[in-house]
Structure 1
Amino acid sequence: MKTLVIYTHPNHQSLSYAFLQKVIQGSGENPNITEIKVLDLYEEGFNPVLIFNENKRRRDMHADPGLAKYREQMIWADKIVFVYPIWWGRPPAMLMGYIDQMFASGFAYKDKGGLLPEGLLKGKSVVCVSTMKGPAHYPLLWLNNAHKVLMKRALFNYVGIKKVKFFEFGNMESPKGRQEEKLNKIYRYFKTLDR
């Protein structure tokens, strides 16, 4: 199983970075994971800004040469892992900019003229590891599960990815947030993951 980890946080002293390290550590000890690549969007200097004009058209985004290496990473991966904080009930703008550009028509899906497109990323699976300051049930009770609906239904299912696992860790800035326990949960999950 080839695994691509997409990390989105500007601070390498953050708890999100500690979760990234546990994903890497557990994956490295898992015999089912043959290769792992990490894409740190901030360290990479990824430009999340969409630009469309007379020279750069939206319909050509699937073939943008500036995004070729990112498309190759996604094609290569069997499993895609996203590690990010939840800010204002959703992923950071940097990650959303990556998603806007990468999950383009002609690469991630193909319109068939009907209600739903053909997902072109079938067979892949996704894990989302996210942290937030608020309580763990805040997204479900206050935001009608907007984060999961956005990521699973509006994005991954749309492009053909049906197997999606979420870890939403709340109270992460609290001294009672059980950070070590949650970090170890991620380590164990990736160490024993079989598909």
Structure 2
Amino acid sequence: MKILMIYTHPNHHSLSYAFLQEAIRGSADHAHPPEVKVLDLYEEGFDPLLVFNKTKRRRDMHAEPSLAVYREQLLWADQIVFIYPIWWGRPPAMLLGYIDQMFSSNFAYKDKGGLMPEGLLKGKSAVVISSMKGPALYPLFWLNNAHKVLMRRALLGYVGIKKVKFFEFGNMESKKGKQKEKLERIYRYFKTAAF
């Protein structure tokens, strides 16, 4: 089993970083430890800006040389783990910029002329670990579950990734947010996951 953990938060003293550490620790303590690679988008200096002009066209993004290493990481992984905070009801702009560039036509999916494309990343699974200041049910009741719809349907399902596990933690800036219990939950999940 090969796991790519994509961490998106500019602060290594954040709760998101603590979730990353527990995911790594749980994987290492698994009875059959998987291979783990971490992509820290901020530390990496990933450029989230899309640039299209006369020489750089959107239809050629799947072969963009500067993104080759990131394509190799996604192809290498059996499971992709996304770890990030929810800001304004959605993932950070840095992660959205990564998604815009990496999940491109002729790499992550292929148009077939019908309603839905062929997902070229099928067979992989995903885990989405997100945290927010607001209540856990805020995205469901106030935003029509927009975050999960974005990640499960608009992105992962579109590219063929059907098996998706969500950990969406709310009240994370509250003293009553049970942060330790939630960190332990992430550790236990990766320690006992059926890879």
TM-score band, normalised by shorter chain:
over 0.9
Q: 1:77 corresponds to which residue?
A: 77
Instruction: In structure 2, list runs of 5 or more residues that go unmatched.
Output: none
> What is the rounded CA distance, in whole Å, between the counterparts of 1:125 and 1:16 in structure 2?
21
SS of 2:74's equivalent in the other structure is helix
Q: Residues 33 and 112 from structure 1, CA distance in 2 versus in 1: closer, same or farther, beyond 3 angstroms? A: farther
Q: 2:122 corresponds to which residue?
A: 122
Any conservation in 2 of the 1:3–1:33 contact (CA below 8 Å)?
Answer: no
Q: 1:181 corresponds to which residue?
A: 181
Q: 1:110 corresponds to which residue?
A: 110
Q: 1:165 corresponds to which residue?
A: 165
Instruction: In structure 1, list runs of 5 or more residues that go unmatched.
Output: none
Aligned residue pairs: how many? 195
Q: 2:17 corresponds to which residue?
A: 17
> What is the rounded CA distance, in whole Å, between the counterparts of 1:62 and 1:87 in structure 2?
28
Structure 1 length normalisation: TM-score? 0.99
- Which amino acid letter does the alignment assign opposite residue 113 of structure 1? G
Structure 2 length normalisation: TM-score? 0.99
> What is the rounded CA distance, in whole Å, between the counterparts of 1:146 and 1:33 in structure 2?
34
SS of 1:167's equivalent in the other structure is strand
SS of 1:159's equivalent in the other structure is coil
> What is the rounded CA distance, in whole Å, between the counterparts of 2:52 and 2:29 in structure 1?
43
| 1:55, distance to aligned residue in structure 2 (A) | 1.1
Any conservation in 2 of the 1:107–1:120 contact (CA below 8 Å)?
Answer: yes
Root mean square deviation of aligned Cα: 0.6
What stretches of structure 1 move > 3 A for 4+ residues in a row? none
| 1:34, distance to aligned residue in structure 2 (A) | 2.6
Q: 2:51 corresponds to which residue?
A: 51
Q: 1:194 corresponds to which residue?
A: 194
Matched, 1:28 2:28: yes
SS of 2:135's equivalent in the other structure is coil
Residues 130-166 of structure 1: CA distance to partner in whole angstroms, max 9, x if unpaired?
Answer: 0000000000010000000000001100000000010
SS of 1:171's equivalent in the other structure is coil
| 1:31, distance to aligned residue in structure 2 (A) | 3.3
| 1:56, distance to aligned residue in structure 2 (A) | 0.5
